[in-house]
Amino acid sequence: MPIGHIVFDMDGTLVDTEVAFQLALQETMEQLLGRSASMAELHYTYSMTTEATLLALGFPDIPVAHQLWEKKCIEKLGMVRLYDGISQLLEALLLRGYTLGIVSSSSRREYRIVFLPLGLGDCFETVILAEDTQEHKPHPAPILRYLEKAGVQPKEVLYVGDSSGDMDCAKAAGVHRALACWCRTPAEGETDSEYRLERPGQLLDLLLEMEAAERL
């Protein structure tokens, strides 16, 4: 069955938010917990929901911490950008007839505030965010919800994400999975991916190879 849907994680795959959001998180920790952590120590939280991140870091009052972190993130939106080559990649995929989607652990509010101002919202037909499922990545629920909402079979979908949680979620849901390495280079064995992409444009080459294999 040919692939017709290309589904992306958002943070760390389409949008470079890590420095802005982690700086905001460091400041939130310093203000509310009286301690901080390095970027490397906080990296594991990058694919987690906001609530899961704050719980993992030990904030006693999650709503207060969430409000402060969000305020500090908004102050740093000028640091947020699309990764180089993403706009061109999405345009090329749409011209080739692929349906595009998003499956992200971000909240709907974060999606509106951070992603939509970048001007690419119209590219994506189906968007699954934190509020859409009870369980979150690495659980397969978010991608299973995408399959249900989009009305497609797992083998019709290629999921592109940057973390082990993304790849575990995709594998458990039965979809094809490609690891985006343009944010960082994962350590050997860190993620269980079918394909590794060093730059966005490599996704087009991969799809051409998969289409050719499908015809054989």
Spatial neighbors of 112 by CB under 8 A, at least 6 apart, are none
What is the mean pLDDT of the segment spanning 187-212? 86
The model's pLDDT over 74-94, given as tens digits with 9 standing for 90+, comes to 999 999 999 999 999 999 999
The model's pLDDT over 42-74, given as tens digits with 9 standing for 90+, comes to 988 877 889 999 999 999 999 999 999 999 999
**Mean pLDDT, rounded, of the chain:** 93
Percent of the chain past pLDDT 70, that is, above it, reads 96
The model's pLDDT over 171-186, given as tens digits with 9 standing for 90+, comes to 999 999 999 999 876 6
The model's pLDDT over 112-129, given as tens digits with 9 standing for 90+, comes to 999 999 999 999 999 999
Predicted local distance difference test score (pLDDT) of residue 18: 87
- Check pLDDT > 90 for residue 39: no
